[in-house]
Amino acid sequence: MSVFKVASRYAKSLIDLSKEHNNLDEIKGDMEEIVSIIKSSTELQAVLKNPIIKADKKLAILNALFQGKVKPEIIGFFQIMVRKGRAELVYATAQEFIAEYNEVKGIVKAEVTSAAPLSDDNLQALRTAIAQQINKEVILSNKVDKSLIGGFVVRVGDKQVDASINGKLAKLERHFAGQI
């Protein structure tokens, strides 16, 4: 079974557990912190993935990092995962938890790539327009790519709208290439 599928199943279990304890939002906040910490530490990622390092050592490291900083349910959940030999999935499970949370809450992540940074007003207007189109809350990030020349490219899930000058030039080039 793929890492994604297993991590997704663990994440769904933790979503169900946090719904039962009525602390879904708090667990999500803790998971964002966990993702941030693990993402920033390649050493921690290597330790969790290393099959030579014993489960007790991995548990001690996770406890030292997160005990008292995150909800006890998360610590207990990670302990179960490590004892089952799934420590390498802790990071992927935390990421999947956030994705599952967003789906449960009707939140969609979108990215706008522009030739120059967009103003807060422009980002807010774009966020509002996207939210009205898809009828969901939108978390919008802005990425800069000077090769676009001007305009922007918006990605929401697997959909993309290319309103960049570079994209229009490429489309025009393909059109003329088909004419010859």
Average pLDDT score, the chain? 92
What pLDDT does 177 receive? Answer: 82
Question: Which segments within the chain are labelled E, that is strand?
Answer: 107-114, 137-144, 152-156, 159-162
Is-contact 10 81, C-beta < 8 A? yes
What pLDDT does 169 receive? Answer: 86
Range of the domain at 85: 3-103
Number of domains in the chain: 2
Whole-prediction pTM value?
Answer: 0.78
Closest C-alpha to 111, from 159, 150, 143: 143
What confidence tier does 148 reach under pLDDT thresholds 50, 70, 90? confident
Q: Does residue 128 sit in the same domain as residue 96?
A: no
What are residue 161's DSSP bridge partners?
Answer: 154
Q: Does residue 79 sit in the same domain as residue 51?
A: yes
- Distance of alpha carbon 79 from the chain centroid: 23
Query: To which residue do tokens 């489960």 refer?
Result: 55
Residue 138 has pLDDT above 80, yes or no: yes
As a whole number, mean pLDDT of residues 69-97 equals 95
What pLDDT does 3 receive? Answer: 82
What pLDDT does 11 receive? Answer: 95
Q: Does residue 93 sit in the same domain as residue 134?
A: no
